[in-house]
Structure 1
Amino acid sequence: MSAIHAPELVTQELLELTRSLGRPERDLVILAEGNTSQLLDDGRVVVKASGSNMASATSDDFVTVEVGPFVDLLQRENCTQDEVTAALDAGVVGGQRRRGSIEALVHVAVQAVSPAGFVGHTHPTAILGLMASVRAQEAYGYWVYSDEAVVIGRPLYVPYASPGIELGQVFYHALRGYADQYGQLPQLVLLGNHGIVAIAPTAAGVDGISAMAVKGAQVRAAAYAVGGVSPVPAESVAKFLARADISERRGNLAKGQF
Protein backbone atom coordinates (compact mmCIF):
# COMPACT_ATOMS: atom_id res chain seq x y z
CA MET A 1 0.00 0.00 0.00
CA SER A 2 1.45 3.40 -1.02
CA ALA A 3 -0.96 5.51 1.08
CA ILE A 4 -1.80 5.44 4.78
CA HIS A 5 -4.24 7.33 6.96
CA ALA A 6 -2.16 8.94 9.72
CA PRO A 7 -3.88 12.04 11.19
CA GLU A 8 -1.01 12.51 13.65
CA LEU A 9 1.24 13.51 10.73
CA VAL A 10 -0.99 16.43 9.69
CA THR A 11 0.51 19.69 10.98
CA GLN A 12 -1.38 22.75 12.13
CA GLU A 13 0.33 24.71 9.34
CA LEU A 14 -1.15 22.43 6.69
CA LEU A 15 -4.59 22.58 8.25
CA GLU A 16 -4.54 26.38 8.46
CA LEU A 17 -3.37 26.70 4.85
CA THR A 18 -6.08 24.31 3.65
CA ARG A 19 -8.83 26.14 5.51
CA SER A 20 -7.55 29.53 4.38
CA LEU A 21 -7.54 28.57 0.71
CA GLY A 22 -11.00 27.07 1.18
CA ARG A 23 -12.66 30.16 2.67
CA PRO A 24 -15.80 30.81 0.55
CA GLU A 25 -15.22 34.57 0.29
CA ARG A 26 -11.88 33.98 -1.47
CA ASP A 27 -13.62 32.12 -4.32
CA LEU A 28 -10.67 29.78 -4.87
CA VAL A 29 -12.65 26.54 -4.50
CA ILE A 30 -16.16 25.29 -3.78
CA LEU A 31 -17.54 21.96 -2.54
CA ALA A 32 -14.71 19.38 -2.50
CA GLU A 33 -12.51 21.19 -5.04
CA GLY A 34 -8.80 21.78 -4.51
CA ASN A 35 -6.11 20.16 -2.42
CA THR A 36 -3.00 20.92 -0.41
CA SER A 37 0.07 19.00 0.66
CA GLN A 38 3.13 19.19 2.87
CA LEU A 39 6.49 17.48 2.50
CA LEU A 40 7.55 15.63 5.65
CA ASP A 41 11.14 15.42 6.89
CA ASP A 42 11.30 11.74 5.91
CA GLY A 43 10.36 12.50 2.29
CA ARG A 44 6.73 11.42 2.46
CA VAL A 45 3.90 13.74 1.45
CA VAL A 46 0.72 14.48 3.39
CA VAL A 47 -2.03 15.32 0.89
CA LYS A 48 -5.73 16.11 1.18
CA ALA A 49 -8.06 13.18 0.77
CA SER A 50 -10.58 12.91 -2.05
CA GLY A 51 -14.03 14.31 -1.37
CA SER A 52 -13.15 16.44 1.66
CA ASN A 53 -13.95 20.15 1.89
CA MET A 54 -10.96 22.46 2.27
CA ALA A 55 -12.77 25.07 4.36
CA SER A 56 -13.70 22.57 7.07
CA ALA A 57 -10.76 20.15 6.75
CA THR A 58 -9.56 18.25 9.81
CA SER A 59 -6.56 16.00 10.30
CA ASP A 60 -8.76 13.07 9.34
CA ASP A 61 -9.12 14.51 5.82
CA PHE A 62 -5.57 13.71 4.70
CA VAL A 63 -3.53 10.69 3.69
CA THR A 64 0.23 10.23 3.64
CA VAL A 65 1.97 8.81 0.58
CA GLU A 66 5.43 7.63 -0.40
CA VAL A 67 6.85 9.58 -3.35
CA GLY A 68 8.84 6.77 -4.99
CA PRO A 69 6.00 4.46 -6.07
CA PHE A 70 4.11 7.36 -7.62
CA VAL A 71 7.15 8.60 -9.52
CA ASP A 72 7.30 5.15 -11.10
CA LEU A 73 3.68 5.58 -12.20
CA LEU A 74 4.37 9.07 -13.54
CA GLN A 75 7.24 7.81 -15.64
CA ARG A 76 5.51 4.70 -17.00
CA GLU A 77 3.69 5.33 -20.29
CA ASN A 78 1.23 2.47 -19.91
CA CYS A 79 0.16 3.35 -16.36
CA THR A 80 -3.62 3.22 -15.86
CA GLN A 81 -5.92 5.31 -13.71
CA ASP A 82 -6.98 2.17 -11.86
CA GLU A 83 -3.38 1.65 -10.73
CA VAL A 84 -3.19 5.22 -9.43
CA THR A 85 -6.52 4.94 -7.64
CA ALA A 86 -5.42 1.72 -5.95
CA ALA A 87 -2.10 3.26 -4.89
CA LEU A 88 -3.87 6.25 -3.32
CA ASP A 89 -6.25 4.07 -1.30
CA ALA A 90 -5.53 4.16 2.43
CA GLY A 91 -8.37 1.79 3.27
CA VAL A 92 -11.57 2.19 5.25
CA VAL A 93 -11.18 4.12 8.50
CA GLY A 94 -14.12 4.65 10.83
CA GLY A 95 -16.50 3.37 8.20
CA GLN A 96 -15.24 5.82 5.56
CA ARG A 97 -12.84 5.11 2.72
CA ARG A 98 -9.78 7.34 2.79
CA ARG A 99 -8.15 7.89 -0.58
CA GLY A 100 -5.73 10.57 -1.71
CA SER A 101 -7.07 13.21 -4.07
CA ILE A 102 -7.19 12.33 -7.76
CA GLU A 103 -4.77 15.26 -8.18
CA ALA A 104 -2.27 13.89 -5.66
CA LEU A 105 0.03 13.15 -8.60
CA VAL A 106 0.46 16.90 -9.09
CA HIS A 107 1.78 17.17 -5.54
CA VAL A 108 4.03 14.14 -5.93
CA ALA A 109 5.39 15.48 -9.23
CA VAL A 110 6.60 18.64 -7.48
CA GLN A 111 8.54 16.61 -4.92
CA ALA A 112 9.93 14.32 -7.61
CA VAL A 113 11.42 17.25 -9.53
CA SER A 114 12.61 19.40 -6.61
CA PRO A 115 11.43 19.08 -2.99
CA ALA A 116 9.23 21.94 -1.74
CA GLY A 117 7.66 22.46 1.66
CA PHE A 118 4.07 23.13 0.64
CA VAL A 119 1.86 22.90 -2.45
CA GLY A 120 -1.63 24.32 -2.90
CA HIS A 121 -3.91 23.53 -5.84
CA THR A 122 -7.07 25.59 -6.32
CA HIS A 123 -9.59 26.57 -9.02
CA PRO A 124 -10.05 30.36 -8.62
CA THR A 125 -12.95 31.70 -10.68
CA ALA A 126 -10.98 34.78 -11.76
CA ILE A 127 -8.12 32.67 -13.10
CA LEU A 128 -10.35 29.99 -14.60
CA GLY A 129 -11.98 32.70 -16.68
CA LEU A 130 -8.60 33.33 -18.30
CA MET A 131 -7.54 29.68 -18.41
CA ALA A 132 -10.77 28.81 -20.27
CA SER A 133 -10.31 31.67 -22.74
CA VAL A 134 -8.50 31.99 -26.05
CA ARG A 135 -5.86 33.99 -24.15
CA ALA A 136 -5.02 31.23 -21.70
CA GLN A 137 -1.47 30.50 -22.82
CA GLU A 138 -0.48 34.12 -23.42
CA ALA A 139 -2.22 35.68 -20.40
CA TYR A 140 0.64 35.24 -17.95
CA GLY A 141 3.40 35.44 -20.55
CA TYR A 142 4.19 38.93 -19.27
CA TRP A 143 3.86 40.90 -16.05
CA VAL A 144 1.17 43.52 -15.53
CA TYR A 145 2.60 45.17 -12.41
CA SER A 146 5.81 45.05 -10.40
CA ASP A 147 4.64 43.28 -7.24
CA GLU A 148 3.32 40.42 -9.36
CA ALA A 149 6.83 39.87 -10.70
CA VAL A 150 8.25 39.91 -7.17
CA VAL A 151 5.79 37.43 -5.65
CA ILE A 152 5.10 35.10 -8.59
CA GLY A 153 8.24 35.30 -10.68
CA ARG A 154 8.03 33.45 -13.99
CA PRO A 155 4.93 31.19 -14.10
CA LEU A 156 4.60 27.92 -16.01
CA TYR A 157 1.61 27.25 -18.27
CA VAL A 158 0.49 23.62 -18.72
CA PRO A 159 -2.20 22.82 -21.33
CA TYR A 160 -5.34 21.00 -20.24
CA ALA A 161 -5.10 17.32 -19.39
CA SER A 162 -7.74 15.13 -17.74
CA PRO A 163 -7.26 15.03 -13.94
CA GLY A 164 -5.56 11.87 -12.80
CA ILE A 165 -2.71 10.01 -14.47
CA GLU A 166 -2.94 12.08 -17.67
CA LEU A 167 -2.59 15.39 -15.85
CA GLY A 168 0.03 13.97 -13.51
CA GLN A 169 2.29 12.88 -16.35
CA VAL A 170 1.85 16.06 -18.39
CA PHE A 171 2.46 18.17 -15.29
CA TYR A 172 5.53 16.14 -14.28
CA HIS A 173 7.23 16.50 -17.66
CA ALA A 174 6.39 20.21 -17.87
CA LEU A 175 7.91 20.78 -14.42
CA ARG A 176 11.05 18.91 -15.36
CA GLY A 177 11.41 21.00 -18.49
CA TYR A 178 11.02 24.22 -16.52
CA ALA A 179 13.52 23.11 -13.86
CA ASP A 180 16.03 22.09 -16.52
CA GLN A 181 15.70 25.48 -18.20
CA TYR A 182 15.67 27.76 -15.16
CA GLY A 183 17.34 25.69 -12.44
CA GLN A 184 14.38 25.90 -10.08
CA LEU A 185 10.68 25.19 -9.74
CA PRO A 186 8.08 27.77 -10.76
CA GLN A 187 6.21 29.36 -7.88
CA LEU A 188 2.99 29.38 -9.88
CA VAL A 189 1.75 26.82 -12.41
CA LEU A 190 -1.28 27.69 -14.56
CA LEU A 191 -3.35 24.73 -15.72
CA GLY A 192 -5.36 25.27 -18.89
CA ASN A 193 -9.14 24.98 -18.27
CA HIS A 194 -8.40 23.84 -14.73
CA GLY A 195 -6.78 26.11 -12.14
CA ILE A 196 -3.46 26.87 -10.48
CA VAL A 197 -0.73 25.23 -8.41
CA ALA A 198 1.22 27.37 -5.93
CA ILE A 199 4.58 26.06 -4.70
CA ALA A 200 6.59 27.47 -1.78
CA PRO A 201 8.77 26.45 1.15
CA THR A 202 6.12 27.72 3.59
CA ALA A 203 2.36 27.59 3.95
CA ALA A 204 2.21 31.39 4.02
CA GLY A 205 4.11 31.46 0.74
CA VAL A 206 1.54 29.24 -0.97
CA ASP A 207 -1.28 31.39 0.40
CA GLY A 208 0.34 34.61 -0.80
CA ILE A 209 1.18 33.29 -4.27
CA SER A 210 -2.42 32.12 -4.68
CA ALA A 211 -3.76 35.54 -3.67
CA MET A 212 -1.39 37.41 -5.98
CA ALA A 213 -2.26 35.12 -8.90
CA VAL A 214 -5.94 35.99 -8.45
CA LYS A 215 -5.20 39.71 -8.36
CA GLY A 216 -3.16 39.33 -11.54
CA ALA A 217 -6.10 37.63 -13.22
CA GLN A 218 -8.44 40.42 -12.19
CA VAL A 219 -6.05 43.06 -13.54
CA ARG A 220 -5.72 41.20 -16.84
CA ALA A 221 -9.46 40.76 -17.23
CA ALA A 222 -10.02 44.47 -16.59
CA ALA A 223 -7.31 45.41 -19.09
CA TYR A 224 -8.66 43.05 -21.75
CA ALA A 225 -12.12 44.57 -21.24
CA VAL A 226 -10.88 48.04 -22.18
CA GLY A 227 -8.82 47.05 -25.19
CA GLY A 228 -5.93 44.86 -24.06
CA VAL A 229 -2.96 44.56 -21.71
CA SER A 230 -0.02 46.94 -21.82
CA PRO A 231 2.60 44.77 -20.05
CA VAL A 232 5.49 45.95 -17.93
CA PRO A 233 8.56 45.80 -20.23
CA ALA A 234 10.60 42.65 -19.63
CA GLU A 235 13.84 44.68 -19.53
CA SER A 236 12.42 46.87 -16.78
CA VAL A 237 11.37 43.82 -14.76
CA ALA A 238 14.81 42.23 -15.15
CA LYS A 239 16.51 45.38 -13.77
CA PHE A 240 13.94 45.59 -10.99
CA LEU A 241 14.46 41.99 -9.90
CA ALA A 242 18.24 42.37 -10.02
CA ARG A 243 18.18 45.05 -7.32
CA ALA A 244 19.58 43.93 -3.95
CA ASP A 245 16.56 45.16 -2.00
CA ILE A 246 14.14 43.32 -4.29
CA SER A 247 16.22 40.12 -4.16
CA GLU A 248 16.07 40.30 -0.36
CA ARG A 249 12.32 40.86 -0.49
CA ARG A 250 11.82 37.89 -2.82
CA GLY A 251 13.77 35.71 -0.41
CA ASN A 252 11.57 36.83 2.47
CA LEU A 253 8.42 36.26 0.46
CA ALA A 254 9.49 32.72 -0.36
CA LYS A 255 9.67 32.12 3.39
CA GLY A 256 6.21 33.56 3.88
CA GLN A 257 7.41 36.88 5.32
CA PHE A 258 4.97 39.18 3.51
Structure 2
Amino acid sequence: MPTSWNPGLVSDDLLELTRLLGQPGLDLAILAEGNTSELLDDGRLVVKASGANLASSTKEDFVVVDVDEVMALVDDPGASQADLTAVLVAQDASRDDGSPRRGSIETLVHAAVARLAREVGGIRFVGHTHPTQVVGLLASVHAADAWSRIVYSDEAVVIGHPLFVPYATPGIELGRLYDERLREYVAEHGRLPQLVLLGNHGIVATAPTAAGVEAVSLMAVKGARVRTIALSVGGLAPLSVADVAKFFARDDVAERRTNLARGR
Protein backbone atom coordinates (compact mmCIF):
# COMPACT_ATOMS: atom_id res chain seq x y z
CA MET A 1 0.00 0.00 0.00
CA PRO A 2 1.79 3.21 -1.16
CA THR A 3 -0.07 5.49 1.26
CA SER A 4 -1.56 4.65 4.65
CA TRP A 5 -2.93 6.40 7.73
CA ASN A 6 -1.21 5.93 11.08
CA PRO A 7 -1.47 8.91 13.49
CA GLY A 8 0.82 7.06 15.90
CA LEU A 9 3.75 7.70 13.56
CA VAL A 10 3.28 11.48 13.66
CA SER A 11 5.89 12.88 16.03
CA ASP A 12 5.27 15.73 18.45
CA ASP A 13 8.08 17.66 16.72
CA LEU A 14 6.38 17.39 13.33
CA LEU A 15 3.01 18.45 14.69
CA GLU A 16 4.50 21.40 16.57
CA LEU A 17 6.38 22.54 13.45
CA THR A 18 3.25 22.24 11.35
CA ARG A 19 1.18 24.38 13.69
CA LEU A 20 3.98 26.92 14.04
CA LEU A 21 4.38 27.43 10.29
CA GLY A 22 0.65 28.03 10.08
CA GLN A 23 0.53 30.83 12.66
CA PRO A 24 -1.19 33.82 11.02
CA GLY A 25 1.32 36.31 12.41
CA LEU A 26 4.18 34.68 10.51
CA ASP A 27 2.38 35.02 7.16
CA LEU A 28 3.93 31.82 5.83
CA ALA A 29 0.65 30.20 4.81
CA ILE A 30 -3.12 30.77 5.01
CA LEU A 31 -6.13 28.47 4.73
CA ALA A 32 -4.90 25.00 3.66
CA GLU A 33 -1.67 26.29 2.09
CA GLY A 34 1.64 24.64 2.88
CA ASN A 35 2.68 21.21 4.09
CA THR A 36 5.27 19.52 6.27
CA SER A 37 6.93 16.12 6.47
CA GLU A 38 9.29 13.94 8.47
CA LEU A 39 11.44 11.11 7.12
CA LEU A 40 11.06 8.00 9.28
CA ASP A 41 13.91 5.67 10.20
CA ASP A 42 12.41 2.96 7.98
CA GLY A 43 12.59 5.25 4.91
CA ARG A 44 8.90 6.11 4.72
CA LEU A 45 7.60 9.66 4.86
CA VAL A 46 4.96 11.21 7.12
CA VAL A 47 3.38 14.12 5.23
CA LYS A 48 0.44 16.45 5.86
CA ALA A 49 -2.78 15.39 4.20
CA SER A 50 -4.48 17.45 1.51
CA GLY A 51 -6.91 20.09 2.74
CA ALA A 52 -5.66 20.27 6.33
CA ASN A 53 -4.88 23.69 7.78
CA LEU A 54 -1.34 23.95 9.13
CA ALA A 55 -2.28 26.00 12.18
CA SER A 56 -5.02 23.64 13.38
CA SER A 57 -3.56 20.31 12.29
CA THR A 58 -3.81 17.24 14.49
CA LYS A 59 -1.99 13.93 14.20
CA GLU A 60 -4.97 12.64 12.24
CA ASP A 61 -4.19 15.13 9.46
CA PHE A 62 -1.16 13.22 8.15
CA VAL A 63 -0.59 10.19 5.99
CA VAL A 64 2.40 7.86 5.63
CA VAL A 65 3.87 7.54 2.15
CA ASP A 66 6.15 4.94 0.59
CA VAL A 67 8.82 7.18 -0.94
CA ASP A 68 9.97 4.70 -3.58
CA GLU A 69 6.46 4.00 -4.88
CA VAL A 70 5.58 7.67 -5.09
CA MET A 71 8.87 8.66 -6.74
CA ALA A 72 8.49 5.81 -9.25
CA LEU A 73 5.82 8.00 -10.86
CA VAL A 74 8.33 10.84 -11.21
CA ASP A 75 10.75 8.45 -12.91
CA ASP A 76 8.05 7.07 -15.24
CA PRO A 77 7.51 9.51 -18.16
CA GLY A 78 4.16 7.88 -18.87
CA ALA A 79 2.73 8.51 -15.40
CA SER A 80 0.04 11.19 -15.11
CA GLN A 81 -1.32 13.50 -12.45
CA ALA A 82 -4.25 11.14 -12.08
CA ASP A 83 -1.81 8.31 -11.30
CA LEU A 84 -0.20 10.42 -8.58
CA THR A 85 -3.56 11.36 -7.07
CA ALA A 86 -4.53 7.69 -6.89
CA VAL A 87 -1.26 6.65 -5.24
CA LEU A 88 -1.60 9.33 -2.55
CA VAL A 89 -4.98 8.08 -1.31
CA ALA A 90 -4.82 6.23 2.01
CA GLN A 91 -6.95 3.18 1.24
CA ASP A 92 -7.17 2.17 4.90
CA ALA A 93 -8.94 5.31 6.14
CA SER A 94 -11.33 8.09 5.15
CA ARG A 95 -12.46 11.29 6.83
CA ASP A 96 -15.59 11.51 8.95
CA ASP A 97 -17.51 12.87 5.94
CA GLY A 98 -16.47 9.91 3.81
CA SER A 99 -13.93 11.81 1.72
CA PRO A 100 -10.56 10.12 1.19
CA ARG A 101 -7.50 10.87 3.26
CA ARG A 102 -4.90 11.79 0.68
CA GLY A 103 -1.37 13.12 0.77
CA SER A 104 -0.92 16.72 -0.29
CA ILE A 105 -0.69 17.45 -4.01
CA GLU A 106 2.81 18.70 -3.17
CA THR A 107 3.94 15.41 -1.59
CA LEU A 108 6.55 15.06 -4.34
CA VAL A 109 8.28 18.19 -3.02
CA HIS A 110 8.89 16.22 0.17
CA ALA A 111 9.43 12.78 -1.35
CA ALA A 112 12.14 14.01 -3.72
CA VAL A 113 14.07 15.40 -0.75
CA ALA A 114 13.48 12.21 1.24
CA ARG A 115 14.81 9.95 -1.50
CA LEU A 116 18.02 11.96 -1.82
CA ALA A 117 18.33 12.36 1.96
CA ARG A 118 18.56 8.59 2.25
CA GLU A 119 21.62 8.79 -0.02
CA VAL A 120 23.44 11.87 1.29
CA GLY A 121 21.94 12.28 4.76
CA GLY A 122 21.51 15.46 6.74
CA ILE A 123 17.76 16.01 6.30
CA ARG A 124 14.80 14.68 8.29
CA PHE A 125 12.23 17.50 8.31
CA VAL A 126 10.79 19.54 5.43
CA GLY A 127 8.48 22.55 5.52
CA HIS A 128 6.86 23.96 2.40
CA THR A 129 5.16 27.35 2.72
CA HIS A 130 4.09 30.35 0.62
CA PRO A 131 5.37 33.47 2.47
CA THR A 132 3.91 36.65 0.97
CA GLN A 133 7.22 38.53 1.07
CA VAL A 134 9.09 35.72 -0.67
CA VAL A 135 6.40 34.91 -3.23
CA GLY A 136 6.31 38.60 -4.12
CA LEU A 137 9.93 38.42 -5.27
CA LEU A 138 9.51 34.97 -6.82
CA ALA A 139 6.66 36.37 -8.92
CA SER A 140 8.78 39.30 -10.11
CA VAL A 141 11.30 39.83 -12.88
CA HIS A 142 14.01 39.32 -10.24
CA ALA A 143 12.90 35.79 -9.30
CA ALA A 144 15.72 33.82 -10.92
CA ASP A 145 18.57 35.97 -9.64
CA ALA A 146 17.30 37.58 -6.43
CA TRP A 147 18.94 34.88 -4.28
CA SER A 148 21.83 34.09 -6.62
CA ARG A 149 24.18 35.98 -4.26
CA ILE A 150 24.26 36.21 -0.47
CA VAL A 151 23.48 39.71 0.78
CA TYR A 152 24.11 39.55 4.53
CA SER A 153 26.10 37.34 6.89
CA ASP A 154 23.31 35.75 8.95
CA GLU A 155 21.67 34.60 5.74
CA ALA A 156 24.88 32.79 4.86
CA VAL A 157 24.91 31.07 8.26
CA VAL A 158 21.30 29.88 8.28
CA ILE A 159 20.50 29.33 4.61
CA GLY A 160 23.77 28.94 2.76
CA HIS A 161 23.38 28.72 -1.01
CA PRO A 162 19.70 28.24 -1.95
CA LEU A 163 18.37 26.50 -5.06
CA PHE A 164 16.00 28.25 -7.47
CA VAL A 165 13.51 26.13 -9.43
CA PRO A 166 11.41 27.83 -12.15
CA TYR A 167 7.64 27.57 -12.03
CA ALA A 168 5.96 24.28 -12.93
CA THR A 169 2.38 23.21 -12.26
CA PRO A 170 2.13 21.77 -8.72
CA GLY A 171 1.91 18.00 -8.79
CA ILE A 172 3.77 15.59 -11.02
CA GLU A 173 5.04 18.30 -13.39
CA LEU A 174 6.68 20.22 -10.55
CA GLY A 175 7.87 16.97 -8.99
CA ARG A 176 9.85 16.02 -12.08
CA LEU A 177 11.52 19.41 -12.54
CA TYR A 178 12.16 19.74 -8.81
CA ASP A 179 13.75 16.29 -8.57
CA GLU A 180 15.97 17.04 -11.55
CA ARG A 181 17.22 20.32 -10.06
CA LEU A 182 17.76 18.77 -6.64
CA ARG A 183 19.93 16.05 -8.17
CA GLU A 184 21.98 18.66 -10.03
CA TYR A 185 22.48 20.60 -6.79
CA VAL A 186 23.59 17.49 -4.88
CA ALA A 187 26.00 16.55 -7.68
CA GLU A 188 27.60 19.99 -7.44
CA HIS A 189 27.57 20.54 -3.66
CA GLY A 190 27.48 17.03 -2.20
CA ARG A 191 24.48 17.86 0.00
CA LEU A 192 20.87 18.94 -0.22
CA PRO A 193 19.99 22.66 -0.19
CA GLN A 194 18.59 24.08 3.03
CA LEU A 195 16.31 26.40 1.06
CA VAL A 196 14.62 25.83 -2.29
CA LEU A 197 12.89 28.79 -3.98
CA LEU A 198 10.02 27.79 -6.25
CA GLY A 199 9.28 30.41 -8.90
CA ASN A 200 5.80 32.00 -8.57
CA HIS A 201 5.08 29.54 -5.78
CA GLY A 202 6.90 29.45 -2.44
CA ILE A 203 9.75 27.92 -0.48
CA VAL A 204 10.95 24.53 0.73
CA ALA A 205 13.00 24.52 3.93
CA THR A 206 14.95 21.40 4.91
CA ALA A 207 16.88 20.50 8.06
CA PRO A 208 17.80 17.64 10.41
CA THR A 209 15.36 19.06 12.98
CA ALA A 210 12.00 20.80 13.09
CA ALA A 211 13.66 23.84 14.67
CA GLY A 212 16.05 24.00 11.73
CA VAL A 213 13.15 24.16 9.28
CA GLU A 214 11.66 27.00 11.31
CA ALA A 215 14.96 28.91 11.23
CA VAL A 216 15.41 28.53 7.49
CA SER A 217 11.80 29.54 6.79
CA LEU A 218 11.98 32.69 8.89
CA MET A 219 15.38 33.69 7.51
CA ALA A 220 14.03 33.29 3.97
CA VAL A 221 11.31 35.81 4.81
CA LYS A 222 13.86 38.24 6.25
CA GLY A 223 15.98 37.76 3.13
CA ALA A 224 13.00 38.67 0.96
CA ARG A 225 12.36 41.83 2.96
CA VAL A 226 16.02 42.87 2.78
CA ARG A 227 16.07 42.32 -0.98
CA THR A 228 12.83 44.19 -1.54
CA ILE A 229 14.16 47.20 0.39
CA ALA A 230 17.49 47.12 -1.45
CA LEU A 231 15.79 46.88 -4.83
CA SER A 232 13.53 49.80 -3.94
CA VAL A 233 16.49 52.12 -3.28
CA GLY A 234 18.59 51.35 -6.33
CA GLY A 235 19.46 47.64 -6.31
CA LEU A 236 21.26 44.85 -4.47
CA ALA A 237 24.88 45.11 -3.37
CA PRO A 238 25.63 41.47 -2.46
CA LEU A 239 28.60 40.17 -0.55
CA SER A 240 31.57 39.28 -2.72
CA VAL A 241 32.22 35.65 -3.58
CA ALA A 242 35.61 35.89 -1.88
CA ASP A 243 34.14 37.29 1.33
CA VAL A 244 31.49 34.58 1.45
CA ALA A 245 34.05 31.84 0.88
CA LYS A 246 36.25 33.25 3.65
CA PHE A 247 33.25 33.50 5.96
CA PHE A 248 32.18 29.89 5.32
CA ALA A 249 35.72 28.65 5.97
CA ARG A 250 35.72 29.90 9.56
CA ASP A 251 35.38 27.21 12.24
CA ASP A 252 33.01 29.31 14.36
CA VAL A 253 30.67 29.84 11.42
CA ALA A 254 30.65 26.13 10.57
CA GLU A 255 29.82 25.32 14.20
CA ARG A 256 27.03 27.91 14.30
CA ARG A 257 25.51 26.59 11.09
CA THR A 258 25.53 23.06 12.48
CA ASN A 259 23.94 24.14 15.74
CA LEU A 260 21.22 26.14 14.00
CA ALA A 261 20.37 23.21 11.74
CA ARG A 262 20.03 21.01 14.81
CA GLY A 263 17.85 23.57 16.57
CA ARG A 264 20.38 24.66 19.19
Query: 1:143 is matched with which residue?
Result: 150
* Residue 97 in structure 1 maps to residue 100 in structure 2: yes
Return the alpha-carbon distance in structure 2 between the equivalents of residues 97 and 52 of structure 1. Answer: 12
Query: 2:42 is matched with which residue?
Result: 42
CA shift at 1:96, angstroms? Answer: 3.8
Return the alpha-carbon distance in structure 2 between the equivalents of residues 71 and 161 of structure 1. Answer: 17
Return the alpha-carbon distance in structure 2 between the equivalents of residues 68 and 237 of structure 1. Answer: 37
Larger CA deviation: 227-236 vs 151-160:
227-236
Letter in 2 for 1:170: L
Match of 1:163 among 165, 170, 175: 170
Cα shift readout 1:137-177 (whole Å, capped 9, x = no counterpart): 00000111000001000000000000000001110110001
Query: 2:262 is matched with which residue?
Result: 255
Query: 1:242 is matched with which residue?
Result: 249
Query: 1:181 is matched with which residue?
Result: 188
CA shift at 1:190, angstroms? Answer: 0.2
User: Counterpart of 1:237 in 2: which secondary structure?
Assistant: helix
Letter in 1 for 2:105: I
User: Counterpart of 1:180 in 2: which secondary structure?
Assistant: helix
Match of 1:225 among 213, 232, 235: 232
TM-score (norm 1): 0.98
Cα shift readout 1:235-254 (whole Å, capped 9, x = no counterpart): 11110110111111111111
CA shift at 1:114, angstroms? Answer: 2.0
CA shift at 1:201, angstroms? Answer: 0.5
Return the alpha-carbon distance in structure 2 between the equivalents of residues 177 and 54 of structure 1. Answer: 31
CA shift at 1:230, angstroms? Answer: 0.7
Cα shift readout 1:197-238 (whole Å, capped 9, x = no counterpart): 001000000000000000000000000011101111111111
Query: 2:86 is matched with which residue?
Result: 86
CA shift at 1:93, angstroms? Answer: 4.0
Q: Which runs of 5+ in 1 are unaligned?
A: none
Return the alpha-carbon distance in structure 1 between the equivalents of residues 175 and 18 of structure 2. Answer: 21
Query: 2:211 is matched with which residue?
Result: 204
Q: What pairs with 1:41-120 in structure 2 (closer than 5 Å)?
A: 41-91=41-91, 92-94=94-96, 95-115=98-118, 116-120=123-127
TM-score (norm 2): 0.96
Letter in 2 for 1:103: E
How many corresponding residue pairs? 257
Letter in 2 for 1:120: G
Letter in 2 for 1:140: W
Return the alpha-carbon distance in structure 1 between the equivalents of residues 6 and 99 of structure 2. Answer: 14
User: Counterpart of 2:126 in 1: which secondary structure?
Assistant: strand
Q: Which runs of 5+ in 2 are unaligned?
A: none
Cα shift readout 1:68-118 (whole Å, capped 9, x = no counterpart): 111211111111001100000014243342000000011000011223210
Return the alpha-carbon distance in structure 2 between the equivalents of residues 172 and 134 of structure 1. Answer: 24
Letter in 2 for 1:143: I
Larger CA deviation: 112-121 vs 188-197:
112-121
Query: 2:131 is matched with which residue?
Result: 124
